[in-house]
Amino acid sequence: MIPFIFGAQILIERSGGWFGLGSLFLQSASGRDYTTLMGIFTILAAACVLCSFLADIGYGLIDPRVRENIK
């Protein structure tokens, strides 16, 4: 779900007139600023990996059966 939230961020910022990472993405894509686009993709990929890692850790804390399978 986290990647979809980041994708919706672009639409929300565009329709709301706010300036943020989504607006920067659209400006960089229209201006063919590839280094900024690569930076944005790197930030979003790192955020997705971090959120997935935290979800796995949280799931392990909640359900003890998951911790037993790690040994």
pLDDT digits (tens, 9 = 90+) for 11-21: 888 787 778 88
Helix axes 21-30, 34-62, angle to 10 degrees: 140
User: With 60 as the cut, is the pLDDT of residue 47 above it?
Assistant: yes
**What is the 8-class DSSP label of residue 20?**
S
| Backbone angles phi and psi of 32, in degrees to 5 | 55, 45
Q: What does the domain layout of the chain look like in residue ranges?
A: 2-70
- pLDDT of residue 36 exceeding 90: yes
- Residue 18, phi then psi, degrees to nearest 5: -90, 155
pTM for this model (two decimals): 0.71
Q: Which segments of the chain are extended strands (E)?
A: none
Residues 4-17, mean pLDDT to the nearest whole number: 80
Instruction: With cut-offs at 50, 70 and 90, classify the pLDDT of residue 70.
Output: low
pLDDT of 6 above 80: no
Q: What is the pLDDT of residue 60?
A: 84
Query: 37 with 29: CB under 8 angstroms?
Result: yes
